[in-house]
Amino acid sequence: MNVGIIGGTGPAGRALALRLASVGHNVVIGSRDRARSSTAANELRRSLDERSNFLHSGSNNEAALSEIVVLATPWEGAVATATDLSEPLREKVLVSMVSALARVGDEFQAVISSRGSIAASLQSVLPETFVTTGFQHVPARDLAGINKPLDAHVMICSDSERGFLETKALVTSIEGLHAVFCGSLASANAVEALTAVLLNINVRYKAHVSMRLTGFDENG
């Protein structure tokens, strides 16, 4: 699968790019700054050995031309960045791993956008794109540890079956990650806000917490 990561030079984007390339996806790390993208790709290739050729650098526009696209920008610029890329993102699935958070003292708190979530805001400016949520609750450090197994559920919100199925395929291509449909984008506010809760747990317990759900048949 050809995967583009818009804003892929930050910790979350780099970690996901590395993990996806390690399982055989062709990944473009996008950035507004080509030099930053090139530097990130070169650094990550050192961990990939024979699969280093699966990882590429490029502009955000080049990343948006991929088969499926992930948005990994800081939340403050997510909607503006996506709006500028509306044409290459048309008819694509866009997986938002963005959560709006603020650090207040020693605590992380969710910032609620005017439409309730970043994902819903993205869908409002990208009406011809299939926006979904994904990967918010998988720590970057765990994603980047490609020699260590993962065991986590990824919460997916989507207004379309196509969006869910393509996001699920991307998620489950990574061994140890399990996809869970959590409702339409109307529920994305809860998924994004939960990121703050997990980060607060990490701070308190000096941990790297991920989500694992029980009590249901995930293949149902």
Rounded distance between C-alpha atoms, residue 210 and residue 150, angstroms? 9
- What pTM, to 2 d.p., does this model score? 0.97
- Domain assignment present for residue 217? The answer is no
41-95 per-position pLDDT tens digit: 999 999 998 899 999 999 999 999 999 999 999 999 999 999 999 999 999 999 9
The pLDDT assigned to 49 comes to 87
Mean pLDDT in residue range 11-26: 98
Burial category of 215 from C-beta neighbours within 10 Å (exposed 0-12, middle 13-18, buried 19 and up): exposed
Strand partners, 177: 152
- The answer to whether the beta carbons of residues 99 and 112 sit under 8 Å apart is no
SS3 content of the chain, % helix, strand, coil (to 5): 45, 20, 35
What's the structural domain count of the chain? 1
The pLDDT assigned to 31 comes to 98
125 to 79, 131, 134, 162, 164: CA distances (angstroms) = 8, 10, 19, 19, 19
Residues 139, 60, 53, 91, CA torsion sign: positive
- Domain assignment present for residue 216? The answer is no
- Domain assignment present for residue 144? The answer is yes
The pLDDT assigned to 2 comes to 98
- Domain assignment present for residue 138? The answer is yes
Q: How confident is the model at residue 164 (pLDDT cuts 50, 70, 90)?
A: very high
Rounded distance between C-alpha atoms, residue 14 and residue 36, angstroms? 11
- Inform me whether the pLDDT recorded for 165 exceeds 80: yes
219 to 26, 127, 156, 168: CA distances (angstroms) = 27, 30, 14, 11
What kind and span of H or E run contains 63? helix 60-64
Mean pLDDT in residue range 168-173: 98
Q: State the CATH number of the domain containing residue 51.
A: 3.40.50.720
89-141 per-position pLDDT tens digit: 999 999 999 999 999 999 999 999 889 999 999 999 999 999 999 999 999 99
- Inform me whether the pLDDT recorded for 172 exceeds 90: yes
Strand partners, 180: 155
- The answer to whether the beta carbons of residues 186 and 116 sit under 8 Å apart is yes
Give the residue numbers spanning the domain of 48: 2-205
- Domain assignment present for residue 213? The answer is no
- Domain assignment present for residue 172? The answer is yes
- Domain assignment present for residue 215? The answer is no
- Domain assignment present for residue 97? The answer is yes
